């Protein structure tokens, strides 16, 4: 069942691309290149790759094989409850932040397109706050987490069906400097 | 039920030379006044046909039916030339005649007269001396006079609207005439723009900008093009609403945690908290007398509309039907509010009569949003999603007349109808 849902999502994304409405944000995990976590003020520039003898250093935050590359918590319709299946993702990031004491994150809440824009902006904020709350309970200090919301303004999937909407009801974790 | 289409060449160069604005009008029930609007003498040599714009304005309201004027020869341009019997035979109840003549310094004089055909009586006569470039605006003023004389309500043909156009990743805040013409971009960004709100005198727009990678509230002076960030507190800053005296903005901020409503000076400054709830409080709207703020809150479990004193204080719930009633906007007379209501998964514009508590659903879309009243209270402008794209639409306060303004380019979002012109 889950596989089928995933397939539908992929198909919807492909359809969205094929229709030339290439408006979508790249998925969060793909956006940044090998940028080490940095202090606030550094913008995530693609020129900040660190060359080594072999080429580019693998970054645990963005390496697709690293659990830290998973950045999105997805929500049910009209809900800001962090579902059990995302507990390990949130825990992984909380542990990383416990290790890297200078790391800071920004959690961006998002909604699907249904409903009123301004109310969705507030709902997105509540989703971001819900993820933040889990992380503070796990020991990350309040001041290292900034929350914001894009409401329904930055969908990653552009369809007008549940497969797309499910992709857009999410909170994204972004590290300072990305 | 009558239905017709006006295909108009879009003048806005920003939308490209082939872009068109299609206005689709649907009316059901209700009487339409048959009105004959004759071509004006001398208008063929002008850059703009005045009579066509007047006719399109009146037809768009759904309250008038244009009577065919072809075959009338010669067309009357003076009262003495009007044969009321002929116009009565064409079932016209009202008649408009006029002429355009050059005067000094390249300017022209536009004179029009409005008649009651049955009584063979003149109802109005005005003349305007303008530059030819002003002919379209002059036509809107003429339509305003005719509309007011025949319906008793102020016309809104000389007003402006604003809305956000999204094309790819580019967002533009545009201001256009109420009929969608003369669209001008007042702001462009690669980040979202939301919730434009007109200052009471129409000189400024407050809106939400994401240029700083988070929502902040900006006020832009339209004539000067200057902008000022007026709310950039920790977290989100959004949902600006002007107080009627323009001194304050009510805004939604998250600086103290969840989204709550605050009041700030319209030039920026300290935020004074107006709501104290454990839920989301957002989308404030001042009543026209400035005494009350309506807003959306989910403090009771589902998002509903509440009202409170404009200085804050205890709030009363005002919507009770359904589980999603959000985004209130007052009518200009303060007697009703338009809002977004969800019913069986569809989001539609509804109106609530405050005295009786009666709710009427005005639209039949699936994802309607962002209602705002015309300054005469007769129409509600809103965003409708059609074939997956945002489009402008308007509906009469009784739901009988519906207009859809379809632009060929982009998603059109978050419209707001401006105030009456001040001159």
Of B215, B367, B385, the CB nearest to A121: B215
Chain A residues whose C-beta is within 8 A of a chain B C-beta are 21-23, 113-119, 121-123, 125-126, 129, 146-151, 153-154, 160
Whether a cis peptide bond, with omega within 30° of 0, leads into A45 is: no
Report the run of H or E that residue B251 belongs to, with start and end. strand B248-253
pTM, entire model: 0.86
The answer to whether B411 and B15 have CB atoms below 8 angstroms apart is no
Cross-chain Cβ contact B210/A119 below 8 Å: no
Chain A: give the shortest CA distance to residue B384, in Å: 11
Contacts with B176 (C-beta within 8 Å, 6 or more apart), sequence order: B12, B160, B161, B162, B163, B182, B183, B184
Chain A nearest-CA residue for B209: A150
Chain A: give the shortest CA distance to residue B289, in Å: 24
The domains spanning B31-151 and B160-417 adopt the same CATH topology: no
| Cβ neighbours of B324 in A, within 8 Å | 115
> DSSP characters for B319-352?
--SSS-EEEEEE-TTSSEEEEEEEETTEEEEEEE
Q: What pLDDT does B408 receive?
A: 65
CB pairs under 8 A between A and B: 89
Residues of chain A with pLDDT under 50: 1-54
Phi-psi group of B119: left, alpha or beta (phi > 0 → left; psi -120 to 50 → alpha; rest → beta):
alpha
Chain A nearest-CA residue for B167: A23
Cross-chain Cβ contact B258/A114 below 8 Å: no
Chain A nearest-CA residue for B193: A153
> DSSP characters for B130-162?
E-GGGHHHHHHHHHHHHHHHHHSS---TT-EEE
Place of tokens 């007379």: B333
Q: What pLDDT does B186 receive?
A: 96
CA B393, CA B380: separation in Å to the nearest integer?
Answer: 8
CATH number (3.30.1330.60, 3.30.70.260, 3.40.50.300, 3.30.460.90) of A2-175 reads: 3.30.1330.60
Structure tokens given for B187: 């702001």
Fold of B31-151: Rossmann fold (3.40.50)
The answer to whether B115 and B92 have CB atoms below 8 angstroms apart is no
Chain A nearest-CA residue for B239: A118
Chain A: give the shortest CA distance to residue B26, in Å: 25
| Cβ neighbours of B195 in A, within 8 Å | 117-118
Cross-chain Cβ contact A150/B192 below 8 Å: yes
The answer to whether B74 and B159 have CB atoms below 8 angstroms apart is no
Domain boundaries in chain B?
Answer: 31-151, 160-417
| Cβ neighbours of B413 in A, within 8 Å | 117
ipTM score assigned to the predicted complex: 0.91
HEC string of B290-314 equals: CCEEEEEECCCCCCEEEEEECCCCC
Question: Does CATH number 2.120.10.30 belong to domain B160-417?
Answer: yes
Cross-chain Cβ contact B254/A116 below 8 Å: no
Per-residue pLDDT of chain B (423 residues; tens, 9 = 90+): 444 444 433 333 334 333 456 677 777 778 899 999 999 999 999 999 999 999 999 999 999 999 999 888 788 999 999 999 999 999 999 999 999 999 988 999 999 999 999 999 999 999 999 999 999 999 999 999 999 999 999 999 999 999 999 998 899 999 999 998 999 999 999 999 999 999 999 999 999 999 999 999 999 999 999 999 999 999 999 999 999 999 999 999 999 988 999 999 999 999 999 999 999 999 999 999 999 999 999 999 999 999 999 999 999 999 999 999 999 999 999 999 999 999 999 999 999 999 999 999 999 999 999 999 999 999 999 999 988 889 999 999 889 999 888 776 789 999 999 999 986
Q: What pLDDT does B72 receive?
A: 84
């Amino acid at each position: 069942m889950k596989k089928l849902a995933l397939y539908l999502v992929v198909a919807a994304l492909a359809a969205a691309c094929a229709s030339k409405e290439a408006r979508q944000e790249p998925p969060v995990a793909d956006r940044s290149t090998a940028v080490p976590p940095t202090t606030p003020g550094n913008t995530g520039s693609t020129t900040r790759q660190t060359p080594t003898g072999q080429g580019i250093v693998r970054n645990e935050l963005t390496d697709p094989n690293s659990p830290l590359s998973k950045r999105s918590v997805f929500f049910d319709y009209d809900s800001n409850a962090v579902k059990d299946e995302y507990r390990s993702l949130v825990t992984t990031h909380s542990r990383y932040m416990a290790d890297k004491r200078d790391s800071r994150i920004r959690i961006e809440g998002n909604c699907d397109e249904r409903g009123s824009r301004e109310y969705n902006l507030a709902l997105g904020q509540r989703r971001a706050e819900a993820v933040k709350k889990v992380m503070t309970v796990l020991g990350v200090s309040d001041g290292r987490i900034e929350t914001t919301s894009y409401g329904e303004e930055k969908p990653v999937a552009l369809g007008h069906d549940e497969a797309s909407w499910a992709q857009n009801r999410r909170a994204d974790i972004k590290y300072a400097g990305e | 039920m009558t239905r017709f289409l006006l295909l108009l060449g879009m003048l806005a160069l920003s939308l490209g030379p082939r872009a068109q604005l299609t206005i689709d009008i649907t009316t059901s029930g209700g009487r339409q006044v048959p009105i004959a609007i004759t071509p004006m003498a001398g208008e063929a040599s002008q850059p703009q046909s005045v009579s066509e714009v007047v006719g399109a304005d009146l037809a768009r309201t759904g309250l008038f039916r244009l009577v065919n004027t072809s075959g009338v020869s010669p067309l009357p341009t003076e009262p003495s030339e009007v044969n009321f019997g002929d116009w009565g035979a064409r079932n016209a109840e009202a008649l408009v005649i006029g002429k355009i003549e050059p005067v000094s310094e390249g300017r022209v004089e536009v004179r029009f007269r409005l008649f009651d055909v049955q009584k063979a009586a003149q109802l109005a006569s005005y003349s305007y001396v303008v530059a030819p470039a002003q002919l379209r605006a002059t036509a809107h003023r003429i339509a305003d006079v005719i509309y007011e004389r025949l319906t008793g309500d102020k016309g809104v043909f000389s007003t402006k609207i604003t809305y956000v156009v999204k094309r790819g990743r580019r967002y533009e805040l545009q201001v256009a005439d109420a009929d969608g013409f003369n669209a001008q971009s007042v702001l462009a960004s690669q980040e979202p723009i939301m919730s434009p709100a007109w200052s009471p005198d129409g000189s400024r727009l407050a809106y939400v900008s994401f240029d700083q990678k988070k929502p902040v509230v900006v006020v832009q002076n339209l004539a000067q093009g200057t902008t000022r960030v007026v709310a950039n507190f920790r977290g989100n800053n959004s949902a600006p609403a002007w107080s009627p005296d323009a001194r304050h903005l009510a805004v939604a901020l998250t600086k103290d945690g969840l989204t709550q409503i605050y009041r700030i000076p319209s030039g920026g400054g300290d935020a004074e908290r107006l709501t104290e709830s454990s839920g989301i409080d957002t989308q404030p709207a001042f009543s026209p007398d400035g005494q009350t703020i309506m807003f959306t809150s989910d403090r009771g479990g589902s998002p509903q509309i509440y009202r409170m004193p404009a200085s804050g204080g205890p709030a009363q719930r005002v919507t009770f039907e359904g589980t999603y009633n959000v985004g209130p906007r007052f009518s200009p007379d303060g007697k009703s509010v338009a809002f977004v209501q969800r019913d069986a998964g569809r989001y539609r514009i509804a109106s609530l009569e405050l005295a009786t508590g009666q709710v009427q659903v005005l639209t039949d879309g699936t994802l309607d949003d962002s209602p705002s009243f015309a300054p005469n209270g007769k129409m509600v402008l809103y965003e409708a999603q059609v074939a997956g794209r945002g489009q402008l639409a308007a509906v009469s306060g009784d739901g009988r007349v519906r207009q859809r303004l379809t632009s060929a380019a982009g998603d059109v979002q978050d419209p707001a109808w401006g105030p009456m012109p001040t001159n």
